[in-house]
Structure 1
Amino acid sequence: MKIQIYCRSFAPAVGGMEKLMEVLAMQFHREGHDIAVVTETEGSADLPYPVHRRPGFARYLSLCRDSDIILTAPLSMRRILPQALSRRPIVAAPPDPFVWTNRKERIAAAIKWWASARVDNIVPSRYMATRFARATVIMNPYDEETFHLPPPGSPREGILFVGRLDARKGVSLLVEAFAKIAARQPQAHLTIVGDGDERDAIAVQITGRGLVDRVTLAGTLRGHALVSEMQRHAIMVVPSITEEPFGIVALEGLACGCRMVIARSGGLPEAVGPFALTFARGDADDLAARLIEALGEREPPSPESVSRHLQQFRPAVIARQYLEVLRSAAA
């Protein structure tokens, strides 16, 4: 099957949807399908399938017509028209519910809502399925070849955050919660991996709370460097203050053996199942209490039980589920 994947942001860009589509494209390629990725992201990445970056209207229409089916993540105002004109079946994989903060975004969201009701949608959680018509729930995969347990007996300590530094991800909330426990836990250290618009504000907050020696802003890490951070930390926190559609980063933390502490936010609890401590979204006091609990925990979930939970998120398993939907739509 000739599958075109449209992903607005793609490698070398970093993010949940970028990683999801890269993992799926690789798995489709391994199973013998003819894959072409189209993206608005400039740059380059060493991948075994073609990536077309910012093609013009005519070129993109040609790419659509050369496909058996289009997997679009997400529906794009810029690309809806050529996709429709190609008369190829379209399956959408919306990364989150359509939201808006101004009139222009509201109009775009209304058009996308109209379009999404006329195509098949693949969503990663039951939470997301309540936001879309014609929705099939297929949870997101994690990269099992990259994210795995460290050697037995490896030392682990400290608290870790991995993600974009923007207001929605709750990093400021995490720093506030850490400040509440810092005096009672003098050996605890917080590492923040990632970058974004909130970095300067977070740095000011850390300084203001007197935590310069207790909190490290590590910047963006990828590949082995990122895995090493996950493998050496005991606890990983996903403190999102808005509803998360899913939570691939939580799966990656679980796979690396971190004790997960997550906000009760959207699809996050569906990703981790019973293998995380949870706190009320946006509640720094509740997060601080869960951090104290995790730091003092003597019997965390066994690696064997976590491994069994993660089996359902293996790329091959998820890719087969996607292919079932794509074949049905293309029939």
Structure 2
Amino acid sequence: MKILIFSPSFLPVLGGLENMMDFLARGLSELGVEVIVITLVGNKPIADNIETTPYKTVRNPSIFQFYNYYKECDAYLNFNISLKGLWPLFFKRKPFFVSHQITYTNIDGSIDLLERIKRYIAKFSINIYCSEFVKDSLNFNKGCVIGNCYNDHLFKNLSKQREFDIVFVGRLVSDKGVDTLVNALHLLKKNDHLCPSLTIIGTGPELENLKNIVFSLNLNHQIIFSGKHIGQSLVNLLNQHKLMVVPSKWKEPFGIVALEGLACGCDLMVSQNGGLIEASGKQSLNFQNGDIESLYFQLKTYFTSKNTLFDKSSVETHLKSHSILSTSKKYLEFIKKHTS
């Protein structure tokens, strides 16, 4: 079987969507599928964590190259609706699948004209949703939910001594809510004299603003900005922490980072609106998005409770269901069902 995957963005651009495409292409290849990925990302320098792949990547193809790959495939899979990937369908009909990794809404919940067009187009595709949240948000009747996978070959519990308390991993932008976490820690220190450590892993445009907030709240000795970590370096660092907090203000469609944290043995605390609770397998403490008081209360609960909050066997079962191979099998079964 030949599957053609298209997305304007792909590795070496680093992000959840790009990683998910790579994981799926690898998994499908392992299952004996011939996979070709077409992307509009050019031949940039190869990132440190990208090696030779078992699938073919075609970058910035000509119209003729694109169409030749398209007409030879058995199934055409797009990651999110992109108008740039629709044109071959007008010349030759193929089973057209879309993996929806977003809800096609702005962060404030509004939907502009372009996103309305994409939502309309999706009514004619065979749809796969990364979470029940995304499916419910799009409100389409057809399709199925297949949760995203994580790199289960890399992210593992190394059974290390966890000498640090809290870790955040992600791009430092306003909607990721790191300022909410910092302010909640300030309340914890002020009201309860609890001073858990926080390691912030990542870079982004909010870095200097966050450093200023930390300084103004006198949390310098409690919070460390660790910079960017990937690969084994990231795994080693996660394994040194007790709790991962994912304080997103916006409604995350899924959140692969939650799977990575669980796999490395971290307890989880996530914002409750969006797909993060699904990504955590309901093995997390939850708080209202962007609500400092709500996050403060859950942090206080976590650091004062002597009870085991999460079920280890449920975590293991959840992680197995989101391995690369397990997720790829679900995709392949669904695609075969709609191409036979």
What TM-score comes out, normalization by structure 1 length? 0.92
Following the alignment from structure 1 to structure 2, what is the Cα–Cα distance between the partners of residues 259 and 19? 23
Alignment counterpart, residue 168 of structure 1, candidates 175, 200, 209: 175
C-alpha contact (below 8 Å) 1:126/1:267 kept by paired residues: yes
Following the alignment from structure 1 to structure 2, what is the Cα–Cα distance between the partners of residues 132 and 139? 17
Partner of 1:329: 338
How far is the alpha carbon of 1:4 from its aligned partner? 1.1
- Mark the CA change 1:312 to 1:219 in structure 2 (over 3 Å): closer, same or farther: same
Alignment counterpart, residue 207 of structure 1, candidates 187, 200, 215: 215
How far is the alpha carbon of 1:225 from its aligned partner? 0.9
C-alpha contact (below 8 Å) 1:72/1:91 kept by paired residues: yes
The alignment of Structure 1 onto Structure 2 pairs a total of residues equal to: 328
Following the alignment from structure 2 to structure 1, what is the Cα–Cα distance between the partners of residues 173 and 27? 31
- Mark the CA change 1:157 to 1:10 in structure 2 (over 3 Å): closer, same or farther: same
Following the alignment from structure 1 to structure 2, what is the Cα–Cα distance between the partners of residues 85 and 121? 21
Q: Which amino acid aligns with 2:63?
A: F
| 3-state secondary structure, aligned to 2:321 | helix
How far is the alpha carbon of 1:258 from its aligned partner? 0.6
Partner of 2:229: 221
- Greater Cα offset, 229-238 or 140-149: 140-149
Alignment counterpart, residue 181 of structure 1, candidates 188, 202, 205: 188
Partner of 2:16: 16
- Mark the CA change 1:84 to 1:218 in structure 2 (over 3 Å): closer, same or farther: farther
Alignment counterpart, residue 239 of structure 1, candidates 223, 247, 259: 247
Following the alignment from structure 2 to structure 1, what is the Cα–Cα distance between the partners of residues 257 and 315? 15
Alignment counterpart, residue 130 of structure 2, candidates 101, 120, 124: 124
How far is the alpha carbon of 1:219 from its aligned partner? 2.1
Partner of 1:99: 105
How far is the alpha carbon of 1:175 from its aligned partner? 1.5
C-alpha contact (below 8 Å) 1:123/1:139 kept by paired residues: yes
- Mark the CA change 1:321 to 1:290 in structure 2 (over 3 Å): closer, same or farther: same
- Mark the CA change 1:258 to 1:65 in structure 2 (over 3 Å): closer, same or farther: same
Identity of aligned residues (%): 30
The RMSD of aligned alpha carbons is 2.1
Q: Which amino acid aligns with 1:179?
A: H
Matched, 1:63 2:72: no
Following the alignment from structure 1 to structure 2, what is the Cα–Cα distance between the partners of residues 210 and 106? 41
Q: Which amino acid aligns with 2:19?
A: K
Matched, 1:195 2:203: yes
Alignment counterpart, residue 148 of structure 1, candidates 147, 153, 156: 156
Matched, 1:313 2:322: yes
Q: Which amino acid aligns with 1:33?
A: V
How far is the alpha carbon of 1:227 from its aligned partner? 0.7
How far is the alpha carbon of 1:228 from its aligned partner? 1.0
C-alpha contact (below 8 Å) 1:35/1:49 kept by paired residues: yes
Alignment counterpart, residue 284 of structure 2, candidates 276, 288, 297: 276
How far is the alpha carbon of 1:244 from its aligned partner? 1.4
- Greater Cα offset, 4-13 or 93-102: 93-102
Following the alignment from structure 1 to structure 2, what is the Cα–Cα distance between the partners of residues 213 and 163? 21
Following the alignment from structure 2 to structure 1, what is the Cα–Cα distance between the partners of residues 221 and 11? 34
Partner of 2:88: 82
How far is the alpha carbon of 1:57 from its aligned partner? 2.9
- Unmatched 5+ residue regions in structure 2? none
Following the alignment from structure 1 to structure 2, what is the Cα–Cα distance between the partners of residues 167 and 5? 31
Partner of 2:165: 158
| 3-state secondary structure, aligned to 1:158 | strand
- Mark the CA change 1:288 to 1:157 in structure 2 (over 3 Å): closer, same or farther: same
Following the alignment from structure 2 to structure 1, what is the Cα–Cα distance between the partners of residues 322 and 41? 27
How far is the alpha carbon of 1:187 from its aligned partner? 4.8
C-alpha contact (below 8 Å) 1:259/1:294 kept by paired residues: no
How far is the alpha carbon of 1:224 from its aligned partner? 0.3
How far is the alpha carbon of 1:301 from its aligned partner? 2.3
Partner of 2:29: 29
- Unmatched 5+ residue regions in structure 1? none
Q: Which amino acid aligns with 2:331?
A: Y
C-alpha contact (below 8 Å) 2:164/2:198 kept by paired residues: no
Following the alignment from structure 2 to structure 1, what is the Cα–Cα distance between the partners of residues 156 and 122? 36
Kindly provide the CA deviation profile for residues 28-80 of structure 1, in whole angstroms up to 9, marking residues without a partner as x.
11111101111233323422221112223332222222221111111112222
| 3-state secondary structure, aligned to 1:121 | strand
Partner of 1:285: 293
- Mark the CA change 1:179 to 1:86 in structure 2 (over 3 Å): closer, same or farther: farther
- Greater Cα offset, 290-299 or 228-237: 290-299
Q: Which amino acid aligns with 1:188?
A: P
C-alpha contact (below 8 Å) 2:281/2:315 kept by paired residues: no
How far is the alpha carbon of 1:20 from its aligned partner? 1.3
- Mark the CA change 1:167 to 1:291 in structure 2 (over 3 Å): closer, same or farther: same
C-alpha contact (below 8 Å) 2:197/2:223 kept by paired residues: yes
Following the alignment from structure 1 to structure 2, what is the Cα–Cα distance between the partners of residues 201 and 85? 50
